[in-house]
Amino acid sequence: MKQKGEARLRASPFCLVHNNVRTQALWDNYAMNTTLLSGLNPPQQQAVTLPHQSALILAGAGSGKTRVLTTRIAYLISTGTVSPHGILAVTFTNKAAKEMITRLTSMLPINTRGMWIGTFHGLCNRMLRAHFREANLPQTFQILDSGDQLSAIKRVMKAMNIDDKKFIPREVQNFISGSKEQGLRANDVEAYDPYTRRKVEIFAEYDAQCQREGVVDFSELLLRSYELLSRNAAIREHYQARFKHILVDEFQDTNPLQYRWLKLLAGKDNALFAVGDDDQSIYAFRGANVGNMQELLRDFHVENVIKLEQNYRSHGNILDAANALISNNQNRLGKELWTAESGGEPLRVYEAPTDVEEANFIVSEIQQLKSEGINLREIALLYRSNAQSRVLEHSLVSAGLSYRVYGGLRFFERQEIKHALAYLRVMENTDDDNALLRIINFPTRGIGARSIEQLQEVAKMNNTTLFDAAARAGGKVSAFVGMIVAMRSATRELPLPEIIGHVLNESGLIAHYSNETGAKKREAEERLENLNELLNAATLFVHENEDDSLTSFLSHASLEAGEHQAGDQDDALHLMTVHASKGLEFHSVFITGMEEGLFPHQNSQHMEDGLGEERRLMYVAITRARRRLYLTFAQSRMLHGQTNSAMVSSFMRELPEELLHWITPRLAPRSAFKPAYAPYPTQHAVADYAAPAKRPADMSGWRIGQNVEHAKFGEGVVLSVEGNGADARVQVQFRKTGSKWLSLEYAKLTAL
DNA sequence: CGCACGTGGTTTTTT
DNA sequence: ACCACGTGCG
């Protein structure tokens, strides 16, 4: 066994010899490392065993990215290259961080304590808690989630007397977060027009308000941490001396601020090990900058990019389709997936007349798959936008198939949970006006809008927080203050779950929901269950965390809004957006709504590299499938209450025909195009429906899919036909001018 | 205070 | 079509 491992290592050009330091520890762990490395392919081994230098690992879908990342850490530690203390591993989601810890625990005989493994936000929070004074924050600073941030912005705008019609709070929020993600404070933003200047003023006021109230939003966690490191040499040097190895997952998703944060921590001596896939960059819309990959190569003098191109997930045809599609993108770092598996099945394509029929087809296929023994949990229905799930759900319910929709409201975002947490937050930090406003009159205790306004005026006049103003008020307001103070002293010595139990009762939340009757009864019962679940979450938290303080739990609640729900066990279909599917895999995948305007989405056209991002999204969707992939589309679909006709997605034409099996009659072959127009036929949705045998010409003489020419509008394709005789109208999608309804009595249409 | 009605928005979303 | 949110009335 040992011999075999040794032979393999010798045979590999990427063996331990890379590591020039022949430490005793290395030798001791030789056997262990052969185990660690066995089963890795050569590029994976090369990545895992790289010497102390910065590296970019281009890891394709299903190429063992997480495995390489965790094995790298295990390798560094077991060879004695670095102690756990010197490891910083960063992810984007809590799920990914947990996964990494779980895998490491199973690989290493030591526990992961000492390493910093977590999300960007989690780690920044940790750092700010450790240096709250230097970061100019109260010890018990609270974290605003996006909802909290939005209400805080609305409050600022109200105080500034700003018309929320002219300045839409949501947009201001994007502006503020967007700026911070670029590393910009209000006075760093260059504003050349009055509108932007006003937004900058709101930005500045908002930050001032957050500072007064002792709260930070998500991007503030990062920015504040970045500023702490850049301004405080002692702290910066401390962490630079500590984290010899910095490892980043999903590097293509980093925003400019996150990249600067990483650079600062890496300093000039530490190794940044970045794993990512430019072809799976699908979060540009929220500030991710794929360009960071090229910058990394330059800034860190990365000499060799290691590519992980062997895919262990999908059959050949699926990969071939993905490769063909993504090859249409520009400026790729370059990478082509391959597999040792055979070609497998062709991709199945289905064209439905309507979205409802598309859903019905999917249901019947699922029933077929089910009868073949495929578990429902191994099947995913993917769509570009959430609105599409509705029709699918309807059909699934009728067919009695169980399913789970991902991406709904999460646990800590539920109203009743937010209320309960708000009580706890005010107890922790009375300056948190956001939290105070949420609960001062919930459950209702006779403190109306008028009283609250008065409080706000008093607070503003005396330059204090609402709680201080409330403490000086009388009547019901002072009763409220008394309640908070009493809660705080009554729970001072209690363990976390008991603190929460006390607050749930004393606040009147339990009583409030218990008293609901009539139409709201059911809803209230569910809310009570969730409050009970909050107690369970607290109990679990105490078990799992060393620091089981209330502050720590509240951070946890903000940073980890809670995995979607329990119920992972039951065998149910997965319904989700393509975005949400990243990182997952299924035996069978349905990519639904393959229509121009939907996927690629219409709005992507106005954005730089919008089509490229949509194509990457499609690439992600395709590569989720292990064995079987369906692509379905509908000629007409109900959207925003209106039935729309659409052409098939231009992406369909980017898939090699020989990989496709058309269940419905297939589209006209590529030769039917005249590529005289734009390089991508998206703007001028190209006419390419073959005459489907099933749909004969109707009384009007025109049939759907017919290629036509109009004297004025040029070439197009018939999307639908309506009415007869003098009333007959046809809807035509023209290459150049979009779709139009034409009355057949007047329009001069010629068949092509 | 709570309900009824009106309005705006509806690509993707983690922290 | 549908949902979330805000305002105004009883």
Q: Write out pLDDT tens, residues A629-665.
A: 999 999 999 988 888 899 999 999 999 999 999 998 8
Cα A350 to its chain centre, rounded Å, is 29
Task: Identify the helix (H) or strand (E) that includes residue A638.
Answer: strand A625-639
Which of the residues A205, A217, A249, A560 is marked catalytic? A249
The arithmetic mean of pLDDT across residues A31-58, rounded, is 89
Which of the residues A207, A250, A416, A560 is marked catalytic? A250
Residues A467/A435, Cβ–Cβ less than 8 Å: no
Shortest CA to C1' contact from A559: nucleotide:
B15
Side-chain-side CA neighbours of residue A500 (13 Å) = 26
A713 pLDDT exceeds 70?
no
| Residue A546 tokens, joined | 């060393």
The arithmetic mean of pLDDT across residues A430-453, rounded, is 90
Residues A634/A384, Cβ–Cβ less than 8 Å: no
The arithmetic mean of pLDDT across residues A706-720, rounded, is 68
In Å, what is the separation between the CA of A581 and the C1' of B14? 14
| Residue A105 tokens, joined | 């625990």
| A30 — pLDDT class (breaks 50, 70, 90) | low
| Residue A303 tokens, joined | 């000499």
Specify the pLDDT at position A519: 72
A377 pLDDT exceeds 50?
yes
Shortest CA to C1' contact from A150: nucleotide:
C5
Q: How many angstroms separate the CA atoms of A271 and A52, rounded? A: 6
The arithmetic mean of pLDDT across residues A196-204, rounded, is 94
Specify the pLDDT at position A24: 44
Task: Tell me, yes or no, if A438 is annotated catalytic.
Answer: no
Point out which residues pair with A346 in neighbouring strands: none
DSSP state of A574: E
Number of helices (H) and strands (E), helices first, in chain A? 28, 21
Task: Tell me, yes or no, if A643 is annotated catalytic.
Answer: no
Specify the pLDDT at position A449: 85
In Å, what is the separation between the CA of A660 and the C1' of C4? 42
What sign does the dihedral A101-A105-A109-A113 (CA atoms) show? positive
Shortest CA to C1' contact from A602: nucleotide:
B11
pLDDT digits (tens, 9 = 90+) for A544-579: 898 999 999 999 999 988 765 555 668 999 999 999
pLDDT digits (tens, 9 = 90+) for A448-501: 888 888 888 899 889 889 999 999 888 889 999 999 999 999 999 999 999 999
Which of the residues A44, A70, A258, A280 is marked catalytic? A280
Specify the pLDDT at position A516: 79
Shortest CA to C1' contact from A164: nucleotide:
C6
A260 pLDDT exceeds 90?
yes
Nucleotides in B strand less than 7 A from protein CB: 1-3, 9-15
Footprint of strand B on the protein (CB under 7 A): A 92-95, 119, 121-122, 145-146, 168, 218-219, 282-283, 285-286, 384-387, 407, 441, 444-449, 520, 559-561, 576-577, 579-580, 601, 603-604, 607, 640
Specify the pLDDT at position A159: 87
Shortest CA to C1' contact from A579: nucleotide:
B12
Point out which residues pair with A217 in neighbouring strands: A144
Task: Tell me, yes or no, if A280 is annotated catalytic.
Answer: yes
What are the CA-CA distances from residue A331 to residues A63, A294, A612, A613 (Å)?
21, 11, 10, 12
Specify the pLDDT at position A696: 31
Footprint of strand C on the protein (CB under 7 A): A 154, 390, 638, 640-641
Nearest residue by alpha-carbon distance to C1' of B11: A385
| A704 — pLDDT class (breaks 50, 70, 90) | low
Specify the pLDDT at position A699: 38
| A746 — pLDDT class (breaks 50, 70, 90) | low
Specify the pLDDT at position A505: 94
pLDDT digits (tens, 9 = 90+) for A655-692: 999 999 999 887 655 433 333 222 323 322 323 333 33
Which residue is it, tokens 């349905």? A590
Q: How many angstroms separate the CA atoms of A684 and A688, rounded? A: 12
pTM of the model: 0.84
Q: How many angstroms separate the CA atoms of A206 and A203, rounded? A: 5
The arithmetic mean of pLDDT across residues A693-697, rounded, is 35
pLDDT digits (tens, 9 = 90+) for A110-121: 777 889 999 999
In Å, what is the separation between the CA of A451 and the C1' of B1? 14
Shortest CA to C1' contact from A151: nucleotide:
C5
Specify the pLDDT at position A29: 54
Which of the residues A155, A307, A615, A624 is marked catalytic? A624
Percent over 90 (pLDDT), chain A? 68
Q: How many angstroms separate the CA atoms of A180 and A582, rounded? A: 26
Task: Tell me, yes or no, if A357 is annotated catalytic.
Answer: no
Pairing of strands A642-645, A625-639: antiparallel
Rg of chain A, C-alpha, whole Å = 29
In Å, what is the separation between the CA of A164 and the C1' of B5? 21
Which of the residues A49, A65, A148, A733 is marked catalytic? A65
The arithmetic mean of pLDDT across residues A232-256, rounded, is 97
Q: How many angstroms separate the CA atoms of A230 and A211, rounded? A: 20
Nucleotides in C strand less than 7 A from protein CB: 1-2, 6
Specify the pLDDT at position A299: 96
Task: Tell me, yes or no, if A65 is annotated catalytic.
Answer: yes
Nearest residue by alpha-carbon distance to C1' of B9: A640
Shortest CA to C1' contact from A93: nucleotide:
B14
Which residue is it, tokens 């007064």? A212
Specify the pLDDT at position A304: 81
Which of the residues A66, A112, A465, A577 is marked catalytic? A66
Task: Tell me, yes or no, if A457 is annotated catalytic.
Answer: no
